[in-house]
Amino acid sequence: MTTLRRAKAWLWICSSGVIKVNDLLLFIVNGTLGAFLNVLMWSKAVEDLKSFKTFKLVFIGALTGYIYWWAHSEYNIPNGLLSIMAGYTAEDFLEWIMEKVPWHK
């Protein structure tokens, strides 16, 4: 499949209502916002905001917002707030999942 065909197929999926891109982006932004709030709450100095751990946490928060988008029923105020909280607790949530996975040990 050529790149042009893939792009047309993606545009068709997005425009047909199968994937609501606005909701997807909103949940990713909410997860990122939650992770950034976590970083702001627990950083001790400005240098902490420039570290790789900060970037990792914000990226994991965006990923958690994406995962929450797949799990939610519809967008409303509670789901929006919960996606921010999912981003805030993303690192702990993923560590908990990795502890439960048998092949991780």
What is the C-alpha to C-alpha distance for residues 12 and 100, in angstroms, rounded to an integer?
38
Residue of higher predicted confidence among 52 and 2: 52
Residue 1 falls inside a structural domain: no
Q: How many domains does the chain have?
A: 1
Neighbours of 41 (CB within 10 A): 8
Residue 13 falls inside a structural domain: no
SS3 of residue 2 by DSSP: coil
pTM greater than the 0.75 cutoff: no
pLDDT at 21: 74
Residue 7 falls inside a structural domain: no
Q: Average pLDDT of the chain?
A: 80
Residue 85 falls inside a structural domain: yes
Condensed to tens digits (0 to 9), the pLDDT of residues 13-41 reads 555 556 677 788 888 899 999 999 999 99
The domain of 49 spans: 19-104
What is the C-alpha to C-alpha distance for residues 44 and 32, in angstroms, rounded to an integer?
20
Residue 3 falls inside a structural domain: no
